[in-house]
Structures are given as C-alpha cells and as structure tokens.
C-alpha cells in the first residue's frame, strides 16, 4: 500500500472512531495500527444464502454462542459482544474491522450485547456487572439499571419512543421500560410459573422465564422463551397480541427428550445430595426481525434459521447460511444478514428476494 492510500485509510479509521457525523457513535475504541483489518479476521462480503427450504426441520442439539451481533446502519457500525472473552468488537457494514471498545474507558466485564439508537445513544448489557448501562453518543454514562444476572440472556433494547426495555421477570411482569433518567415507566408481560416445586421463588422464576427478544421498527416486541416452547408478540403499549406454542413445528420434542434423560441421571442425584441446579433446556439461542419475518435460531448445531410470519408465527421457510456454525446473527438490515462465526470472524449474507 502506497503512502497516499495509507494516509487516507488512517483518516478514514479516525473518522469512524472519533467522527461527529449525524447518527455516528464515536465510541472509544482500540484499533490496529495503520490497518482496519486485524490478522485473522475473515472477510466474506458477497456470500449468498446457501439453501432455502419450506417446512424442513432438524433435530436439536447443544451449541455455544460465539458473540451477539447488532447492526447500527445509521452509524455504519456492527457491534459483536463476546461475553466470555470480555470484548466488544466494532466493524463497519462492509465488514471492515474498526476496533475494540476500550473497557477501561467504558466499564464492562461480561458484555452480552450492544444496542445503538439512531441518534448514537447506546446500551451495554453486562452479565458480569448485572447491569444495563445507557450512554450518549459521546460515550457519557447517562443511567444504569441493576438486574438479576439470571435475566441476562438477551440484551436490553430501545423501543419506538427511545426508552430502554429490559427483561425483568418479577411479580410485575416480564419486561420493564425505563426512561433516560433511569425511572421505570411501565412493566408488562405475563410471567410463567416454574413447574418445579423446589424452584418456586423469584430467582428460579426469573430463570424459568428467560427469553430472547427483539423490537421492530414499529415498536412491536417479539420474544421466544428459552426454557419453554412459546413465542409471543407484544404491541408498542405492552399488550399481548399473539402467543404460539412451537412444540410441534421445530423438532423440540427431540431436544426435550435429551434434556429429560440428563435431568433423570444428573439432576435427581444432585437433589439427593441437597443441591439444586437450574433445569433449563435452552431451546432458543437467537432471535431477530425485519419488515417481513421473525428469524429464530433454535439451539441447533449446523441447523437452519427459521423464518416465521410476523402476524401469527406461521413457519414460512428455513434458510441455511452456508456452512456457518454460528448461532448469533442479526437480520434487521433490509438487504443483509450478519452472522458471527466465532472470535474475530464475521460474515455478511445477501437476503433473497
């Protein structure tokens, strides 16, 4: 690379990191010297969805989460939060590596997701700190909400009004809405009661009600229970408008039978020894939404993503993203699906018409 191109590249990186363009999020980031591509980063810019099929399902099995992906198109940014490695990576929407959010400037310990608003305000949901923190577009901390660590499977979201929606799961409901001052505005969503007698308290009910959720551009909240084969939709006012049992449409019975075998052999032994473990089955690993579909990834290794109708969760089709084992993806973009393939690897797939 000649000096002129290198100089232009450095200016571009500095603009992405520190620029003040409308909608830009000037996070404090660390970045590789003289390069926006770190060694080992995989760039897949023109991948197509490998396969589509209607109604096909696969048996379920365990799989690990490589990193939560969120897309902020107004700021030309993609955030990937790697919880177990305590790292938040930033890419542009063409998959060029921008940098790593500086954990010394913006305190985080075990981030499970970063969500940005159109104006550049952003939320970091952190399992290690048991909190959701709201920052402005200059990375100034505005407010922080403390929540139970068991309730941190899915990151907090911004709703249509720009308020923060957090998974809460207590006696007042599943989701709580907070304003920029950290004041709770409302709470909604019926909480399911744990089916296990020894776990009927707030802590275990919180586990039992864990969900992955997302909010579309019209303010509708879509959620999939992790421990129960149930999908729900809430309108912008928090009213339940749809609830569907997906037990018979995704091969969940196979996953449940596998879990039941483990429950009988391991968990019953723990009960005899006076210990109590979480009974979670972890049916769902990811959910996303665009203008047409609700995209759900069940806890399945090398299996499709299921596309449901947004009105009533009718299964429309499944898609396979090449040979990707990644279970973390984001489908909010009009044209692309972004998927995390593991540490330092991110792919972009063109949506079919």
Please, what are the domains in the chain? 3-247+283-350 (2.120.10.30)
d(CA 305, CA 285): 11
d(CA 333, CA 331): 6
User: In a 10 Å sphere around its CB, with 0-12 CB exposed, 13-18 middle and 19+ buried, how is residue 126 labelled?
Assistant: buried
**Structure confidence by residue, pLDDT tens digits, 14-28:** 333 333 233 333 344
d(CA 286, CA 243): 18
For 228-287, give the DSSP string: SSEEEEE-TTS-EEEEEE-TTTTTHHHHHHHHHHHIIIIIHHHHHTT---------EEEE
Query: Could you tell me the two tokens for 198?
Result: 């020894």
Closest CA to 70 of 351, 344, 338, 343: 338
The per-residue pLDDT string of the chain (353 residues; one tens digit each, 9 = 90 and over) reads 443 333 232 222 333 333 323 333 334 444 333 222 232 333 333 333 334 333 333 222 233 345 688 998 888 888 888 777 778 888 888 888 787 887 777 888 888 889 999 888 999 999 888 899 999 988 889 999 988 765 567 899 999 999 999 998 887 899 999 999 999 999 999 988 766 555 555 666 667 788 999 999 999 999 998 878 889 999 999 999 999 988 766 566 666 777 777 767 776 777 677 665 555 667 787 899 999 999 998 765 556 788 999 999 988 888 877 545 456 889 999 988 888 766 557 778 888 77
Closest CA to 249 of 197, 308, 322, 196: 308
Q: How many CB atoms lie within 10 A of CB 291?
A: 10
Closest CA to 24 of 60, 71, 76: 76
Query: Could you tell me the two tokens for 297?
Result: 């990834």
Q: Are 288 and 330 in contact (CB under 8 A)?
A: yes
Closest CA to 298 of 14, 62, 68: 62
In sequence order, the β-bridge partners of residue 266 are none
Q: Are 100 and 88 in contact (CB under 8 A)?
A: yes
pLDDT at 294: 96
d(CA 252, CA 59): 7
Q: Please measure the distance between the N-terminal and C-terminal CA atoms of the chain and give it in whole angstroms.
A: 38
d(CA 133, CA 116): 12
């Amino acid at each position: 690379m000649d000096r002129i191109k290198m100089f232009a590249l450095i200016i571009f990186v500095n603009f992405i990191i520190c620029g003040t363009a409308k909608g830009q999020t000037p996070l404090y980031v660390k970045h590789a010297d003289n390069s926006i591509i770190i060694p080992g980063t995989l760039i897949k810019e023109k991948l197509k969805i490998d396969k589509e099929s209607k109604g096909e399902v696969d048996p379920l099995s365990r799989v690990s989460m490589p990193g939560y992906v969120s897309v902020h198109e107004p700021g030309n940014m993609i955030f990937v939060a790697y919880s177990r490695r305590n790292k938040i990576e930033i890419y542009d929407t063409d998959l060029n590596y921008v940098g790593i959010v500086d954990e010394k400037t913006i305190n985080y310990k075990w981030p499970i997701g970063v969500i940005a608003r159109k104006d550049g305000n952003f939320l970091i949901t952190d399992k290690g700190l048991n909190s959701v923190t709201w920052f402005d577009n200059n990375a100034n901390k505005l407010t922080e909400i403390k929540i139970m660590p068991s309730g941190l499977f899915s990151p907090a979201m911004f709703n249509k009004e720009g308020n923060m929606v957090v998974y809460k799961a207590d006696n007042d409901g599943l989701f709580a809405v907070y304003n920029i001052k950290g004041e709770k505005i409302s709470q909604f969503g019926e909480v399911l009661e744990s089916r296990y007698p020894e776990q009927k308290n707030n802590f275990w009910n919180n586990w039992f009600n864990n969900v992955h959720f997302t909010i579309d551009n019209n303010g509708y909240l879509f959620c999939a229970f992790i421990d129960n084969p149930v999908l729900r939709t809430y309108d912008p006012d928090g009213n339940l408008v749809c609830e569907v049992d997906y037990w018979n449409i995704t091969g969940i019975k196979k996953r449940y039978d596998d879990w039941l075998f483990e429950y009988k052999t391991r968990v019953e032994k723990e009960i005899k020894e006076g210990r109590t473990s979480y009974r979670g089955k972890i049916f769902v690993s990811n959910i996303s939404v665009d203008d047409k579909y609700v995209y759900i990834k069940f806890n399945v290794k090398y299996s499709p993503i299921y596309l449901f109708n947004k009105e009533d969760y009718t299964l429309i089709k499944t898609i396979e993203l090449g040979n990707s084992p990644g279970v973390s993806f984001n489908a909010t973009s009009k044209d692309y699906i972004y998927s995390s393939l593991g540490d330092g690897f991110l792919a972009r797939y063109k949506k079919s018409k």
